[in-house]
Amino acid sequence: MKSIFALLPGILLLFTACSVNKLQSQASSNARTLTVDAETSRAAIQPTMYGIFFEDINFAADGGLYAEMVKNRSFEFTLPKTGWLEPNSDRWSMNEGSGIGAVVKEDRSGKKANYLKVIVKGDKYQLLNEGFRGMGVVAGQQYDLTLQAAVQAGNISGITAQIVDGAGKVVGQATLSVSGSAWKTYEAVISVAETVEKAQLKLTFTGKGEIDLDMISLFPQDTWKGRKKGMRKDLVQLLDDLQPGFLRFPGGCIVEGRTLDRRYQWKKTVGPVEDREFLINRWNTEFDHRPTPDYYQSFGLGFFEYFQLSEDMGAEPLPILSCGMACQFNTGELVPMDELGPYIDDALDLIEFANGAVNTEWGKLRSDMGHPEPFNLKYIGVGNEQWGEDYIERYKVFDAAIKSKYPDITVVSGSGPFPDGEMFEYGMEELTKLNAELVDEHYYRSPEWFRQNATRYDDYDRNGPKIFAGEYAAQSVAIASPDNKNNWECALSEAAYMTGMERNADIVVMTSYAPLMAHAEGWQWTPDMIWFNNLSAYGTANYYVQKMYANHPGTDLLSITEAGKALTGQNDLYASAVRNAATNELIIKLVNTGAKAQELSINIKGAKANGTVKTLTMVSDALDAVNSFEEPTKISPVAGQAEVSKGMLNTSLPGYAFVLYTVKLQ
């Protein structure tokens, strides 16, 4: 006979198993029961539902996406030598051996253009470009150097271009032979031996005399799709990974300008790059707390490139144009109604540029730039964040002109900078009366606001305009405060809010977080979805929330309810559900904004579901946690699994979590 001690492990095992079973059954009896109707499509989810808002703010274009590494390459800044250093020049005595550069204004090839006239008195003279807070170069990579030069006097026969680190050490170099007094373009490839985050480009000269220089440019060869003088590959990759439904460009307030003559004019951003006029970036001194006086727009990233990028990513292009009103937070300068003609022509010509036949004026330019096929533009935005009667008056004229020539183009109108209040109410009312098709709403609000407003669209007029939530982001401190953080509380609150947009996908057809990108040293506005420096980039927690939605938009909206009611924050729970008809998958998004885990039994009705469920979980118990260059994916989706049995999915949703379930339907 076995002693009681010999039987103990078995008894313990039995006891433990009973306890676990008991806990599980207790858990399920405490669980909240949700029901998904997987059979009835409540609305088609538009492929444009989750997209990208791009604006050249925070060095997002020059110094960011546009991979040019030389700042002020053609000496066009207001102070034309901005970005250029001449460490050994002695402007007072011009010592033997030194030299000096002076900017000359001259009408070259019909465009206003500056160039630099350099007087070289000997081999001490150096011309350096500091880049955009330095230049990021990577060991083993090749860089394309190009410049225009004309030797005007003396015996200058060569230019040596060196990439140097902070201590002046050369990490790559090439020498160009130069000759002749006519302008010529010279090119060289520089191979880099060491990775440097803050390199500079140094030019020195062989011989003495006078040489004119212009368009001094340095690009990595390893760009997005390997395009010459193209875009930064790592940054575009982050955008492409979102699988965006649309790309809105070029902003934002940059469209409007602080004054009308500084508005964004797309026609000045197309054609040969060297002919594109520079413009002061409107964000350069907008905020006293983040002045960036060296922030200009070279327009190397112009409208052709935006269309091409949209095409690359399979995103619908959505250009927004000035409607003849400068930023109302600045001057509010207005074009008189009887002088709106050129602004309307800009809109009509843009449609021709994007879609017109190659024998039309603007279609031909698109073709000459390398894209004879149309870009299939379907949307155009009239004004950015305008408000009041002046806007409505102008919008009407644009809408009529666009629709009469291009009835199939959807015109996007704006409702101002705020999601409520007098300006918003007025704009919405007027636009509804005018049967506006798609209205852009903006909301920069606290995380609480996002959690409390998941029902925002539930009562919107189903016969009114469709909604484009064109700019939104939770602000951890206050609108555009420099102390705002891309923390988990903000991202989680946005995830909760987005269930509300998704539940209303019958009227909310486009959404985008804003702003998109920020250079860690060149930013003006925070929070931003992606942060980068000259070598690397990371997506914030907000980026990964956007990615979870954008990678799983589904095709059909389903209902997910508790006791017949949508989940809009009751006991901290938010939910939405969609079906992907192409893959026959049910996608459930659940957000728990509370600290405690929640036990859930999800009853899937109207379709058979059994087996493994794929999960993606974003979770952190620290609401102030952020991603960073050091920990770029600290808060990001982690893949896992759950089980569905006979249509019942029992799950424990962690506290402060956003979980996405993909259930294969049979």
Nearest to 659 by CA among 622, 616, 621: 616
Rounded to whole angstroms, the Cα distance separating 478 from 289 reads 14
Closest approach, Cβ 484 to ligand AHR, in A, equals 12
**385 tagged catalytic:** yes
Which pairs from 564-570 meet CB under 8 Å and 24+ separation?
566/455, 566/458, 566/503, 567/34, 567/499, 568/454, 568/455, 568/458, 568/499, 568/500, 569/451, 569/452, 569/454, 569/496, 569/593
Rounded to whole angstroms, the Cα distance separating 467 from 432 reads 11
Question: Given the rule CB under 6 A, which residues bind ligand AHR?
Answer: 55, 57, 251-253, 384-385, 417, 442, 471, 514-515, 525
- Measured in residues, the chain has a length of 666
Closest approach, Cβ 513 to ligand AHR, in A, equals 9
Q: Which is nearer to ligand AHR, 328 or 598 (CB)?
A: 328
Closest approach, Cβ 514 to ligand AHR, in A, equals 4
Closest approach, Cβ 314 to ligand AHR, in A, equals 24
Q: Which is nearer to ligand AHR, 245 or 414 (CB)?
A: 414
Q: Which is nearer to ligand AHR, 212 or 471 (CB)?
A: 471
Q: Which is nearer to ligand AHR, 515 or 554 (CB)?
A: 515
Please name the residues in contact with 59: beta carbons below 8 A apart, sequence gap of 6 or more: 132, 133, 292, 295, 518, 519, 522, 523
Q: Which is nearer to ligand AHR, 258 or 552 (CB)?
A: 258
Which pairs from 282-288 meet CB under 8 Å and 24+ separation?
282/253, 282/254, 282/256, 282/257, 282/258, 282/327, 283/56, 283/57, 283/58, 283/253, 283/254, 283/524, 283/525, 286/258, 286/524, 287/480, 287/482, 287/524, 287/525
Residue nearest to ligand AHR (CB): 252
Closest approach, Cβ 442 to ligand AHR, in A, equals 6
The DSSP output letter for 284 is: S
Q: Which is nearer to ligand AHR, 333 or 471 (CB)?
A: 471
Using the structure block, give the residue that is written with the tokens 């804003």: 514
Instruction: Count Cβ atoms below 10 Å from residue 361 Cβ, excluding itself.
Output: 10
Catalytic residue among 55, 76, 305, 385: 385
Closest approach, Cβ 96 to ligand AHR, in A, equals 52
Closest approach, Cβ 418 to ligand AHR, in A, equals 10
User: Which three-class secondary structure string do you get for 64-90?
Assistant: CCECCCCCCCCCCCCCCCCCEECCCCC
CA distances from 367 to 275, 297, 301, 374, 475 (A): 18, 24, 17, 9, 43
Give the DSSP H/E element, type plus range, for residue 425: helix 422-433
Q: Which is nearer to ligand AHR, 163 or 517 (CB)?
A: 517
Catalytic residues: 385
